[in-house]
Each structure stands twice: as structure tokens, then as C-alpha cells.
């Protein structure tokens, strides 16, 4: 069985979508419609903006969503998933590809999510760090023992976990994780403490937006970040999307569960390419991983 997976923040690149827009009338129509819905030229920033332009959260998230979704539309009848999943922001793309969300509603939700997260970052300073070479349980225990806010945020693959929290909390965690034998603990250049309690105000704002929008039953199961399990119930999907802002992305567990459920081929759609394929190879080298 085949699953399509969609990348999240960090997969953006200068010029994203330009070739698709030039070569595909279907993609060009998607980009044009997106600009009309948003009320500004997102496609112009994507096609001709700098790397710095694309790092601004309010641009980054809609750009990544749009890039992946345009490629889904380019696949047309060839897009036949048995299951779908997306890493953080990519979950919105997965839901749109599965027809649980209309394109317009999804794009507006992604815009609201990006703006809400940006506002939270400005309210409370926070940061993140990548931890390489320690068991998840060790990282969890060290984070739990620090009084400042610091939590696991992204379970990306075995031995690679991202933590998130206050600047002071992350600094203490870096010291303790290094002392515990981590191969590397790398501070990340990010706007804030994503997938942590410091995103609570963004969660509340996004919750209102999600509750106001119609969700339909998806055409196939969506494996969601918060539970790492398949969902088809619109109300469950909504709650998991809301919880996602302050909860960890359980990507390792999601991939393991999809493989357990007999998914043997994974196709990554959009972004700079092969980010999720690379993580999957660290999780299980026996399954097929391709990139569009």
C-alpha cells in the first residue's frame, strides 16, 4: 500500500514553485487562486523572494502548504493514496489532499496558524534545539527534571529528537543532555518554541478558527501528529489539529504505525525534497521512500 507524506516548516527554498508554475497550467491556476484568497502575492515571494523572505513564519507556512498542494493537483488521477500524513504544518496539506478541507479553507487556516504562532513568538521568547544520539526516554527524563519550560517537540527518528521551550530552559537542557552523552545538541535558528506550552495563545486563537470551519470525512485515513494514529472522524481530526500546537510531533511513531499497518511505499510531496525520506530511512530502511 502507498502513503503520501507532506513536509513542514524548514522545507522551504528560494524559487519554490517557479518551475511548476511555468510548466504546468494546473499549478499556475493553484498559485493564482491562492494569491486571490490571501489578498497578496504569495507566489511572487515564493518564485522570486530570498531565503530570508521565506523564513518569516507568516510566509513560510502558506508557501510550503501551497507548494505541496500544487504538486498534488499536478498528479491528478495518479494521486491514489491508501493513507496520508504530514509533519506539523504538513498535516494541513494531508487533510486538504484527502478532501477533508477545501483548498480555500485550508489556506486560510494555515494563514491564521502562521500569524497566531508568530504572535505567540513575539509575546514569549522561546527557542528549540536538535538532540542527536540519545534515547528518547533519556531526553524526556532530562526535560522533565528542568523547572523552566522545556519539552520534546519533534520525534523525528530514533536518536534524533527536537526539544522546545524557554531560552533558559533550552540552555539548561543543552548542558545536561551533553553531559548525558548526546553526540550533538544543536541550537536551532527558529522564531520561537513551537510545539510547546509557550504556544498556548496560538492554540487558543487557532482553535476558534478551526471550530468555525467545516471538516469532512477524508477519503483515506490521516495519521495525525498528536496520536501517531489514523483518524477519519472530523471532530477527532479537529481536536488533534488544535492540540498539535502545544504537543509534540510524533513522527517516528507515526511512520512505525503506518509500516505496521502494511504501508510499504512512501512518497514525499513538495518542499526542498527528501527531508521526510531521510527520516524514514533512519526509522526503517526496508520500506520504499520516493520524492516528488
CATH code, domain with 151: 3.30.70.250
190 versus 167: which is more confidently predicted? 167
Instruction: Please say which residue of 147, 166, 187 terminates a domain.
Output: 187
- Domain check: are 106 and 35 in the same one? yes
CA distances to 10, 25, 140, 286 from 282, in Å: 19, 37, 20, 10
Question: Domain range spanning residue 139?
Answer: 127-187
- Domain check: are 100 and 56 in the same one? yes
Catalytic residue among 11, 164, 195, 196: 195
State the average pLDDT for the chain.
96
Tally the residues of the chain. Answer: 292
Euclidean distance between CA atoms 236 and 284, whole angstroms: 28
pLDDT of residue 55: 87
Q: Is 195 designated active site?
A: yes
- Domain check: are 133 and 116 in the same one? no
Catalytic residue among 11, 43, 68, 88: 88
The answer to whether residues 74 and 27 touch, using CB atoms and an 8 Å cutoff, is yes
- Domain check: are 148 and 271 in the same one? no
| Statement: residue 220 has pLDDT above 90 | yes
In a domain, 192, yes or no: no
> Does the predicted TM-score (pTM) go above 0.85?
yes
In a domain, 242, yes or no: yes
CATH code, 87: 3.40.366.10
In a domain, 37, yes or no: yes
- Domain check: are 111 and 165 in the same one? no
Instruction: Please say which residue of 168, 187, 206 terminates a domain.
Output: 187
**Residue 198 region, left (φ>0) first, then alpha (ψ -120 to 50), else beta?**
alpha
In a domain, 222, yes or no: yes
What is the tens place of the pLDDT at every residue in 17-33? 999 999 999 999 999 99
Amino acid at each position: 500500500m502507498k502513503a503520501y507524506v507532506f513536509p513542514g516548516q524548514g522545507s522551504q527554498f528560494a524559487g519554490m514553485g517557479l518551475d511548476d508554475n511555468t510548466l504546468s497550467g494546473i499549478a499556475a491556476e493553484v498559485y493564482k487562486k491562492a494569491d486571490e484568497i490571501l489578498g497578496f502575492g504569495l507566489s511572487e515571494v515564493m518564485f522570486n523572494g530570498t531565503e530570508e523572505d521565506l523564513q518569516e513564519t507568516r510566509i513560510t507556512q502558506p508557501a510550503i502548504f501551497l507548494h505541496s498542494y500544487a504538486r498534488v493537483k499536478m498528479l491528478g488521477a495518479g494521486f491514489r493514496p491508501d493513507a496520508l500524513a504530514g509533519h506539523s504544518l504538513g498535516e494541513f496539506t494531508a487533510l486538504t489532499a484527502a478532501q477533508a478541507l477545501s483548498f480555500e479553507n485550508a489556506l486560510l487556516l494555515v494563514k491564521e496558524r502562521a500569524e497566531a504562532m508568530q504572535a505567540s513568538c513575539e509575546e514569549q521568547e522561546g527557542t528549540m534545539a536538535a538532540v542527536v544520539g540519545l534515547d528518547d526516554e533519556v531526553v524526556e527524563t532530562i526535560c522533565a527534571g528542568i523547572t523552566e519550560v522545556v519539552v520534546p517537540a519533534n520525534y523525528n527518528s530514533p536518536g534524533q529528537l527536537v526539544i522546545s521551550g524557554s531560552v533558559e530552559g533550552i540552555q539548561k537542557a543543552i548542558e545536561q543532555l551533553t553531559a548525558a552523552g548526546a553526540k550533538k545538541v544543536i541550537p536551532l535558528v527558529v522564531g520561537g518554541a513551537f510545539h510547546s506550552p509557550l504556544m498556548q495563545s496560538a492554540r487558543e486563537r487557532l482553535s476558534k478558527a478551526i471550530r468555525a470551519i467545516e471538516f469532512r470525512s477524508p477519503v483515506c485515513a490521516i495519521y495525525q501528529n498528536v496520536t501517531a494514529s489514523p483518524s477519519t472522524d472530523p471532530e477527532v481530526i479537529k481536536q488533534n489539529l488544535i492540540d498539535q500546537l502545544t504537543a509534540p510531533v510524533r513522527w517516528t511513531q507515526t511512520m512505525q504505525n503506518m509500516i505496521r499497518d502494511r504501508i510499504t511505499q512512501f512518497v514525499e510531496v513538495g518542499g526542498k525534497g527528501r527531508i521526510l525520506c531521510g527520516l524514514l530511512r533512519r526509522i526503517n530502511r526496508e520500506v520504499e521512500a520516493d520524492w516528488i
